[in-house]
Structure 1
Amino acid sequence: MSVIYDLEHITTYQYRKPVTFGEHRAIFLPSGGVGGRIFSYALETNIPSEVRWMMDTLSNNVALIKFSEAASELRVTYRVRGEHFGWRPITDFPLDPRAEAVPVQYTPDEWLDLSAFMRPHAADPDGSVAAWAKAFVAGDQDTTLDVLQRMMDTIGSTLTYQAREAEGTQSPGETLRLGSGTCRDYAWLMIEALRRLGFACRFVSGYLYDEALDGGEVGMVGSGATHAWLQVYLPGAGWRAYDPTNRLTGGYDLVRVAIARHPGQVLPLSGSWFGEPQDYLGMEVSVSLRKLATLPEFED
């Protein structure tokens, strides 16, 4: 099964008086390949701009925007029409024997390719993240999938979800200490904990398709907004998605836009402006992901 969808993502910045803008980076275009395809896309701004596209070091699509006029409001609108194929749950993908227990045994070639995603990025000055991670492997009979599922379930059941539009991601230690966070914070905590257990993990930004939205309801946490989750590299299964916010492993709900070593690399929109600090009045984000059609799955 695949889904044809329309995506609209509008970010609006308000200022007390006209300010000038430096270059902005927009990362909104979903990745193609086996996960889906793009039929059309557009990037619009309310003031004159010049857009240049590039592909970053991790092959994410990045739009660089240069503005030529000052304004008291900046509005950037992304529109995408695409098809999302999704993934079957991870239980449909058997693991290689060397991936069935923790720590996973990566080959030398895999180590070379995955090393950037295996090294912890965030500081853990009090050792709280490492200690929290090790608690999930206290028993020597646990399989890799048991550990991953239990960690994801623990995050989803013991932490309190608190949405916020402000940019930035809490440190994993801060998320544990506060007992709350956003989808970005949940994913980052799980990534850094798993890296301390020897897993290769990467941060994923994108969108969450929630069928309930088509009926005017919200069924999953984080739907109707940008979303974040993680992927873990498991020999035999490859990069598999884990969404601790909704306790999802793959499926047809996650529309991937970009991957990164850490969350700061894939902000949906970032840039600079020049004026007095008190001129900034705030930011508003509106995201709509709407299903247009569902197509049947073809059998081999």
Structure 2
Amino acid sequence: MELQKGDHVTLEVTHHSKFTYSEPVSLSQNELRMSPVETGLQRVLQHEIRLSPQVPLSSHRDHFGNLVQRFNILEPHDSLEITALSVVETTNAISCGPESKPDPRPYDQRWTEYLCWSPGVPYLAEYDSVPLGREIDMGMDEDEFAKTLYEMARYFFRTFRYDPDVTHVHSSPKELFQHGGGVCQDMAHAMIGVLRKAGVPARYASGYIFEPGKGEIGEHLRGASATHAWVQAWHEGHGWMGIDPTNDKLVDWQFVRTAFGRDYFDTQPLKGVFAGLAEQELEVSVNVRIVEGLQQ
């Protein structure tokens, strides 16, 4: 079955994380960004967070509008399990418009923070090595901008290999250029750097992607076994456009967004601390499946 523009698909996302400690720990403080957000392209139908040990959750919106949930575990515990369950209706489209209230200011004033260097996207001379970085321009019309953005993502896809063994979560995008490979975080950070250097507002998006099984609709994608990262670029005609350099693909119904920000460090799905000298092991599983087929 082929999807048409504007068709909807309902996806169920299960994200399970389990920490096991070598000895009991206490005073654990944690912050989650695992909740899908409402946008012009996705609608949250159900969402819940399950914790073990069971403790109360509090929530707030961060500076970017992401839903942040926090919890503390004061008693000693030798493991921690977090399960995020979501059902989201996504849309087969590549842009959802401005996604913000009307603002008469020029784009470079509205989106200043997405034009500046940030902890995960520092200035690098290597950005100049990407040919399309010298071509993309905010004066382009909608079609030309989208075409150039897609070609830039294709350059990253074809030039850099997907390799989880050469970088880590704190790597600079410089390491992607040095090693010739990396993961979705590295490719997103590097492409954001190229766009910002060209004067195009660009931000980091985090979430999940659907990997189809045999006989299911959708393209086969890299990075579906964990949280995924992609790029959103601003154009006055399109609004925010999602592009995935890891998969050579414009963002569509296969993507579920949970957070966005300047870079990874604004969107971390989970971060926390605990009191104690224990070593920890982490097991993570992500499953995304279609629970309803095509909806007109």
User: TM-score if structure 2 supplies the norm length?
Assistant: 0.84
Asked if structure 1 preserves the Cα contact closer than 8 Å seen for 2:132 and 2:148, the reply is: no
CA gap of 1:135–1:254, structure 2 versus 1, over 3 A, is closer
Q: 1:117 aligns with which of 114, 122, 128?
A: 114
Measure, in 1, the Cα distance between the counterparts of 2:136 and 2:233.
21
Asked whether the equivalents of residues 14 and 72 of structure 1 are also in contact (C-alpha less than 8 Å), the reply is: yes
3-state DSSP class of the match of 2:13? strand
Question: Residue 229 of structure 1 aligns with which residue?
Answer: 230
Match of 2:56 in 1: 50
Give the counterpart letter for 1:294 in structure 2: G
Distance across 2 between alignment mates of 1:7 and 1:233: 27
Distance 1:146 1:275 in 2: 52
Aligned AA (2:189):
W
Q: Secondary structure at the match of 1:155?
A: helix
3-state DSSP of counterpart to 1:210: coil
Aligned ranges 1:8-47 → 2 under 5 Å: 8-47=14-53
Structure 2 CA distance for aligned equivalents of residues 23 and 68 of structure 1: 9
Q: CA RMSD in A?
A: 2.7
> Are positions 1:64 and 2:63 aligned together?
no
Unmatched tracts of structure 1, length 5 or more: 94-106
Shift of 1:174: 1.4
Q: What is the deviation of 1:79?
A: 0.8
Q: Please list, as runs of the form range in 1=range in 2, the aligned pairs for 1:97-116 lying within 5 A after superposition.
A: 108-116=105-113
SS where residue 148 of structure 1 aligns?
A: helix
- Please list the CA deviations of residues 152-200 of structure 1 after superposition, one character each: whole Å capped at 9, or x if unmatched: 1111111111237x97242121111111111111111100111011110
Name the residue aligned to 1:174: 175
Q: Which runs of 5+ in 2 are unaligned?
A: 1-6, 98-103
CA, structure 1 residues 5+179, in 2 after alignment: closer, same or farther (shift >3 Å)? same
Q: Does the 8 Å contact 1:58/1:260 carry over to 2?
A: yes
Q: Name the counterpart of 1:238.
A: 239
Matched, 1:191 2:197: no
Give, as a single letter, the amino acid of the residue that structure 2 aligns with 1:287.
V
**2:1 pairs with 1:3:** no
Letter in 2 for 1:29: S
Count matched residues: 275
Q: SS where residue 245 of structure 2 aligns?
A: coil
Residue identity matched to 1:210 = E
In terms of fraction of residues, the more helix-rich structure is 1
Distance 1:110 1:31 in 2: 23
* SS of residue paired to 1:33: coil
Spell out, residue by residue over 1:239-293, the C-alpha distance to the aligned partner (whole angstroms, 9 max, x if none): 00000011111321111111101110111111001211xx213211111111111
Aligned to 1:254: 255
Evaluate the alpha carbon distance shift between residue 152 and residue 53 of structure 1 in structure 2; reply closer, same or farther with a 3 A threshold.
Answer: same
For normalisation by structure 1, the TM-score amounts to 0.83
Between the aligned partners of 2:214 and 2:227, the Cα distance in structure 1 is: 14
Of 200-209 and 166-175, more deviation after overlay is shown by 166-175
Q: Which amino acid aligns with 1:152?
A: A
Post-superposition offset of 1:110: 1.7
How far apart are 1:138 and its partner, in Å? Answer: 6.6
The share of aligned pairs that are identical, in percent, is 23
Amino acid at match of 1:149: Y
Question: In the aligned structure 1, how far is the partner of 2:205 from the partner of 2:238?
Answer: 17
SS where residue 163 of structure 1 aligns? coil
Report which stretch shifted further, 116-125 or 285-294: 116-125
User: 2:126 aligned to 112, 125, 128, which one?
Assistant: 128
Alpha carbons 1:136, 1:147 under 8 Å: kept? no
**Residue 204 (1) aligns with residue 202 (2):** no
